[in-house]
Amino acid sequence: MPAAVYCLFPVAPACRKIGLDRTLNGWHLAQVAPFDYRTALIQFIRTHAQPADKFGHQPRLYQLAVRLAEGKPFDDDVLFAAVWLHDLGVFIGHRPEAPARLAVWDHIAYACEVAPGLLRQCGFPESKIPAVLELFRTHLPSTRPTSFEGTLLRDADILEQLGAVGALRTIAKVGRDTRFVSFADALGVLRRNLEKLPGCLELPAARLLAEPRLKILQDFISAAEIEAGGAEL
């Protein structure tokens, strides 16, 4: 029997009033045709990853994380779900807009709260949900993963902050994130990434993949500084 297919629709105000769905922050899944949880999650993130350039982080991250495993066994359900949902709390429409609230926003706590309901509606295995949440909690460079899947996600997420892609993702925040007013703010973050993140990588495969990314980042920062000639960026 084929798995169910799900689409995501905004909950109408009337439905909100009667509490049709309170777990998905005003969104619910409607079953429309045969499908699987992976397609449902991708479809959900395609709609919710805002600004739209944030979508690409998820497929790149999954590809990187699988590559880092180098053929060693891992739970692909857990890794896939964690990759696709770990940044839910940073998307516009999910994170708060007010600068004061945004400054103290815990996007991991938000993902831990919202993801279980979403995963259940997608038909994701219930027994694996706690492992997905654990990956949310341990994916930042400042934390330490407790599983191989967690290390794959964390190292891949660090790699996404380095190299040309890391530069693009950071520069894209200028003017649309209160912490990034000018290019100098973006360069400051890239300098910190260059200095601090390589030492956080755990897997030898990740350290190898980081090498060209670090060179590109260093060259880019140096070129920006030279071209600016001491003037404001």
List interacting residues with Fe ion (CB under 5 A).
87, 157
- Give me the helices (H) in the chain, please: 13-17, 37-48, 57-69, 76-85, 99-103, 107-122, 129-137, 148-159, 163-171, 183-196, 204-228
Name which of 155 and 157 has its Cβ closer to Fe ion: 157
Q: How far is the CB of 158 from Fe ion (least distance, A)?
A: 9
- Token look-up 């169910």 returns 4
Name which of 11 and 115 has its Cβ closer to Fe ion: 115
Name which of 28 and 57 has its Cβ closer to Fe ion: 57
**How far is it, in rounded angstroms, from Cα 89 to Cα 105?**
9
Whether residue 83 contacts residue 58, with contact meaning beta carbons closer than 8 Å, is answered with yes
Give how far Cα 103 sits from Cα of 63, 90, 97, 123, 214, Å: 31, 12, 10, 34, 29
Query: Sign of dihedral through CA atoms 98, 101, 106, 110?
Result: negative
Q: How far is the CB of 76 from Fe ion (least distance, A)?
A: 18
36 by Cβ neighbours in 10 Å (0-12 / 13-18 / 19+) ranks as middle
Q: How far is the CB of 86 from Fe ion (least distance, A)?
A: 6
Q: How far is the CB of 95 from Fe ion (least distance, A)?
A: 14
Q: How far is the CB of 57 from Fe ion (least distance, A)?
A: 6
Name which of 11 and 189 has its Cβ closer to Fe ion: 189
Q: How far is the CB of 136 from Fe ion (least distance, A)?
A: 10
Q: Which residues contact 216 (CB under 8 A, 6 or more apart)?
A: 163, 164, 167
Name which of 87 and 185 has its Cβ closer to Fe ion: 87
Name which of 157 and 185 has its Cβ closer to Fe ion: 157
